[in-house]
């Protein structure tokens, strides 16, 4: 059994683009359906830029958010919303239970629901190779981005997450952060999770990715997971190039794969000239680019981003959304956590985390969404 | 058509490659902090000479096995050969714990990551042992330099593990360093014979058996098998404890 990480699983099938070509270049567009032609995209960007110009300083908090507050009226759904709701289910699942156990499986048939859960008493780590993926050889490229499976393409499901930070000191205060938070994210969906400072967004993200054990509840993920934490969690004295090499090893990528993905991301997010810089010598924005790129390096099926565009300049911010749109068109599920979600139209659904619970505020638009930090 | 990353690749030798990459990264992180290297080169002779010089002003008491100056120099050698790798082990764990946790979540095996950290500690132990033994040899006759060197490396690994363990339990650089320096100081004082005690509990301290072995190497005596076995067992027990603590720290749910 390959050394599969406990928190995400490598499918035993290769991933292909919509045209059936070679796996996953982020900048590959051929064969993909896009809702907008380039002129439309340009028009959308112009509208966004105009909206930025109109925003008052009170609406901006670049030091904190690194992003811009915009109204959601730049108009169009620029990203082919809903187009990716078709395709095979991912084959591997990861289940984290309230006891913190993780169940990695690329299953050998027999299970109806590829998102499997172990009960709270489970302490084992189970790795299996699954269903159609396991049965087929490496040339069978059934990808995760077809949601024709029994779960309608759900690639991440969290149910009833609870987390309270206790104090080890006798008179310390316990802080209840999550209180039954639940969410489902489907393939090809861009989901925003918004909430006030201290509402528990990063705690939720850590619980979703398996970096933090919830006190109760379950998290199930399907396919490879990429995680971009709010704090970079990188090695300060390694160069950017060395950082990618190290994480590439973690993702079980060979040198050529790492080089190809690294160069593509560096070009896309414009940090190629810094590849030989040490991480601690990078600016905050460039560190964040590397942080995000590490999460994208292995072409994940589920991408969990915690305040991903903090520190980005405008061009990089736009490049980030172009990249997100491409990922979504290919069926990657993207969850973006932010205290302030800009450009509501870029998201398929928006949740607000308040009082430890998640509620869907997508349709409520104006008042509640505005109160929740959605603009 | 090539496979996607992480799929359908042979895993033979993958762990060895990962260990190599992890070790290279850990060593780079270490040597790119010049203060680390400077401390490893400058501190050992300073400690050995100052311990010997300070103790030379003490009278030779009846229970002492040698001159106070020699006892002081030997004590300083063992102290610095243990303390410095201990601090490096501590910092290896503390400074990179969150990045290690992310790397582990990304799929890098925790045992391999721990191995890379431990090998970095071993490299620091080799350097410290060499420099401190050279400093001792300029003041005292050492009958078997290879044996003495081996014992000092053992001491470095032993305290490196102690440092990694402290770093997982008490992940604060200042507090962790204070715990280490206090432990190493008391440990060496008890083991060296400078302080007279027959209390059995002193045998539980990490340096008790290595000190016996080092004394034998300096004097040209054969190692007592029981001392060697006890020191080896101590390393194994500490290694298992440190690995378990490290795996917990960097594993699922380990990030805070």
Question: Mutating which of A15, A212, A235 best tests the B interface, going by the most B Cβ atoms within 10 A?
Answer: A235
Asked whether A35 and A78 are in contact (CB, 8 A), the reply is yes
B14 interaction partners in chain A (CB closer than 8 Å): 2-3, 252
- If pLDDT is split at 50, 70 and 90, which confidence band does B170 have? confident
Q: Is the ipTM of this complex over 0.85?
A: no
Structure tokens at B64: 């002492």
For CA atoms A194, A198, A204, A210, the dihedral sign is: positive
- If pLDDT is split at 50, 70 and 90, which confidence band does A43 have? very low
Whole-structure pTM value: 0.72
B4 interaction partners in chain A (CB closer than 8 Å): 11, 13-15, 23-24, 299
Asked whether B129 and B149 are in contact (CB, 8 A), the reply is yes
Task: Say whether A15 and B4 touch across the interface (CB within 8 A).
Answer: yes
Mean pLDDT, to the nearest integer, of A128-135?
Answer: 30
How far does B11 lie from chain A, in Å, by closest CA?
6
| Amino acid A298: pLDDT | 95
A139 interaction partners in chain B (CB closer than 8 Å): 1
Which of A138, A210, A297 lies nearest to residue B252, judging by beta carbons? Answer: A210
Least reliable range by pLDDT among A179-193, A283-297, B186-200: B186-200
What is the rounded distance in angstroms from the CA atom of residue B181 to the CA atom of residue B187? 10
| Amino acid A111: pLDDT | 39
Give the CA distances from residue B209 to residues A265, B25, B202, B231, in Å, rounded to whole numbers and listed in that order: 54, 33, 10, 6
What is the rounded distance in angstroms from the CA atom of residue A53 to the CA atom of residue A67? 13
Task: Say whether A252 and B6 touch across the interface (CB within 8 A).
Answer: yes
The DSSP-derived string for A294-361 is HHHTT--SEEEEESTTTT--HHHHHHHHHHHHHHHHTT-EEEEEESSB--GGG-SEEEEEETTEEEE-
pLDDT tens digits, A322-375: 999 999 999 999 999 987 776 788 899 999 999 999 999 987 753 445 555 555
Least reliable range by pLDDT among A35-44, A79-88, A327-336, B242-251: A79-88
| Amino acid B67: pLDDT | 77
Chain B residue nearest residue A209, CA to CA: B105
Q: Does A216 touch chain B (CB under 8 A)?
A: no
Give the CA distances from residue A318 to residues A43, A53, A192, A229, A356, in Å, rounded to whole numbers and listed in that order: 13, 15, 17, 20, 32
Length in residues, chain B: 256
**B248 contact partners, CB below 8 Å, separation of at least 6:** B168, B254
Q: Where are the beta strands (DSSP E) in A216-282?
A: 216-222, 225-228
B107 interaction partners in chain A (CB closer than 8 Å): 3-5, 8, 10, 250-252
**Roughly how many angstroms between the first and final C-alpha of chain B, as a whole number?**
41
Question: Mutating which of B9, B11, B107 best tests the A interface, going by the most A Cβ atoms within 10 A?
Answer: B107
**B238 contact partners, CB below 8 Å, separation of at least 6:** B158, B161, B162, B165, B206
Question: Mutating which of B31, B101, B106, B113 best tests the A interface, going by the most A Cβ atoms within 10 A?
Answer: B106
Q: Does B36 touch chain A (CB under 8 A)?
A: no
Structure tokens at A133: 């993926």
Mean pLDDT, to the nearest integer, of B63-83?
Answer: 85
Highest mean pLDDT among A97-106, A144-153, B10-19: B10-19
| Amino acid A63: pLDDT | 35
Mean pLDDT, to the nearest integer, of A120-147?
Answer: 34
| Amino acid A251: pLDDT | 94
Task: Say whether B252 and A141 touch across the interface (CB within 8 A).
Answer: no
* Three-class secondary structure of residue A186 per DSSP: strand
How far does A138 lie from chain B, in Å, by closest CA?
6
Residue A98 C-beta-side C-alpha neighbours within 13 Å: 16
Percent of chain A with pLDDT over 70: 56
How far does B105 lie from chain A, in Å, by closest CA?
6
Task: Say whether B252 and A102 touch across the interface (CB within 8 A).
Answer: yes
A245 interaction partners in chain B (CB closer than 8 Å): 21, 25
Question: Mutating which of A2, A9, A98, A249 best tests the B interface, going by the most B Cβ atoms within 10 A?
Answer: A249
Which helix (H) or strand (E) is B47 found in, with range? helix B34-56
Mean pLDDT, to the nearest integer, of A121-133?
Answer: 32
Q: Does A175 touch chain B (CB under 8 A)?
A: no
Task: Say whether A253 and B6 touch across the interface (CB within 8 A).
Answer: yes
Q: Does A211 touch chain B (CB under 8 A)?
A: yes
| Amino acid B86: pLDDT | 95
Chain A residues 275-334 with CB within 8 Å of chain B: 278, 297-299
How far does A274 lie from chain B, in Å, by closest CA?
18
| Amino acid B189: pLDDT | 84
Chain A residues 133-162 with CB within 8 Å of chain B: 137-139, 141
How far does A223 lie from chain B, in Å, by closest CA?
11
Chain B residue nearest residue A238, CA to CA: B29
pLDDT at residue B47 is higher than 60: yes
B252 interaction partners in chain A (CB closer than 8 Å): 6-7, 96, 100, 102, 210-211, 213
Chain A residue nearest residue B33, CA to CA: A237
Asked whether A308 and A336 are in contact (CB, 8 A), the reply is yes
Q: Does A73 touch chain B (CB under 8 A)?
A: no
Residue B77 vs residue A166, higher pLDDT: B77
Structure tokens at A238: 């390694």
pLDDT tens digits, B203-235: 888 999 999 999 999 988 889 999 999 999 999
What is the rounded distance in angstroms from the CA atom of residue B89 to the CA atom of residue A319? 41
pLDDT at residue A163 is higher than 90: yes
Alpha-helical regions (H) of B57-172: 68-95, 97-105, 110-137, 145-169
| Amino acid B62: pLDDT | 64
Could you tell me how far CA A25 lies from the centroid of its own chain? 17
pLDDT at residue B4 is higher than 60: no
| Amino acid A362: pLDDT | 86
Which of A235, A251, A278 lies nearest to residue B5, judging by beta carbons? Answer: A251
Chain A residue nearest residue B95, CA to CA: A235
Asked whether A216 and A162 are in contact (CB, 8 A), the reply is yes
B256 interaction partners in chain A (CB closer than 8 Å): 212
Residue A47 vs residue A77, higher pLDDT: A47
- β-pairing, A333-338 vs A349-354, is unpaired
Structure tokens at A40: 């439309």
pLDDT at residue B22 is higher than 80: yes
């Amino acid at each position: 059994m390959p050394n599969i990480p406990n928190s995400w699983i490598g499918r035993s099938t290769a991933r292909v683009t919509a045209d059936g070509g070679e796996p996953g270049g982020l900048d590959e567009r051929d064969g993909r359906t896009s809702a907008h032609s380039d002129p439309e995209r340009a028009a959308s960007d112009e509208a966004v830029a105009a909206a930025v110009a109109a925003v008052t300083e009170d609406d901006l908090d670049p030091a904190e958010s690194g992003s811009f507050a915009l109204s959601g009226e730049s108009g169009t759904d620029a990203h082919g919303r809903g187009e990716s709701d078709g395709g095979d289910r991912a084959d591997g699942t990861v289940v984290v239970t309230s006891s913190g156990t993780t169940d990695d499986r690329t299953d050998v048939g027999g299970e109806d629901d590829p998102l499997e859960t172990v009960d709270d008493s489970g302490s084992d780590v189970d790795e299996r190779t699954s269903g159609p993926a396991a049965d087929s050889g490496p040339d069978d490229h059934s990808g995760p981005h077809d949601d024709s499976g029994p779960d309608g393409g759900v690639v991440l499901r969290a149910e009833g997450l609870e987390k309270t930070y206790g104090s080890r000191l006798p008179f310390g205060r316990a802080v209840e952060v999550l209180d039954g938070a639940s969410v489902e994210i489907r393939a090809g969906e861009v989901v925003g999770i918004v909430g006030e400072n201290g509402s528990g967004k990063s705690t939720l993200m850590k619980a979703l990715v398996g970096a933090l054990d919830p006190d109760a509840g379950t998290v199930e993920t399907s396919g490879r997971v990429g995680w971009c934490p709010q704090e970079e969690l990188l090695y300060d004295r390694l160069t950017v190039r060395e950082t990618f090499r190290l994480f590439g090893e973690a993702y079980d990528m060979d040198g050529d794969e790492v080089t190809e993905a690294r160069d593509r991301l560096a070009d896309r997010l414009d940090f190629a000239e810094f590849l030989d810089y040490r991480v601690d010598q990078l600016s905050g924005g460039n560190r964040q680019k590397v942080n995000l790129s590490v999460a994208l390096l292995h072409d994940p099926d589920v991408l969990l981003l915690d305040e991903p565009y903090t520190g980005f300049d405008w061009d990089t911010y736009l490049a980030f959304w172009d990249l997100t749109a491409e990922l979504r068109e290919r069926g990657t599920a993207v969850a973006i956590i932010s205290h302030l979600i800009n450009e509501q139209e870029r998201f398929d659904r928006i949740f607000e985390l308040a009082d430890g619970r998640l509620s869907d505020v997508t349709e409520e638009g104006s008042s509640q969404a505005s109160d929740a930090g959605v603009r | 058509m090539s496979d996607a990353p992480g799929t359908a690749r042979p895993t033979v030798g993958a762990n060895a490659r990962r260990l190599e990459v992890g070790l290279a990264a850990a060593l780079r992180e270490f040597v790119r902090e010049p203060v680390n290297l400077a401390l490893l080169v400058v501190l050992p002779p300073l400690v050995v000479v100052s311990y010997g010089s300070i103790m030379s002003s003490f009278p030779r008491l009846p229970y002492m096995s040698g001159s106070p100056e020699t006892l002081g120099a030997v004590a300083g050698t063992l102290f610095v050969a243990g303390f410095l790798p201990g601090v490096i082990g501590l910092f290896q764990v503390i400074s990179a714990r969150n990045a290690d946790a992310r790397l582990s979540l990304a799929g890098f095996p925790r045992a391999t990551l721990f191995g890379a950290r431990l090998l970095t500690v071993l490299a620091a132990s080799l350097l410290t042992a060499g420099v401190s033994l050279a400093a001792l040899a300029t003041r005292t006759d050492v009958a078997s330099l290879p044996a003495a060197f081996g014992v000092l490396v053992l001491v470095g690994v032993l305290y490196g593990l102690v440092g990694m363990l402290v770093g997982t339990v008490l992940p604060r650089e200042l507090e962790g360093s204070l715990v280490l320096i206090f432990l190493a100081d008391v440990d060496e004082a008890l083991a060296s014979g400078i302080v007279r005690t027959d209390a059995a509990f002193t045998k539980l301290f990490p340096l008790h058996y290595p000190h016996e072995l080092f004394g034998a190497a300096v004097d040209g005596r054969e190692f007592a098998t029981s001392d060697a076995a006890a020191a080896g067992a101590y390393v194994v027990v500490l290694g298992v404890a440190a690995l378990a603590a490290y795996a917990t720290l960097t594993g699922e749910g380990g990030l805070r």
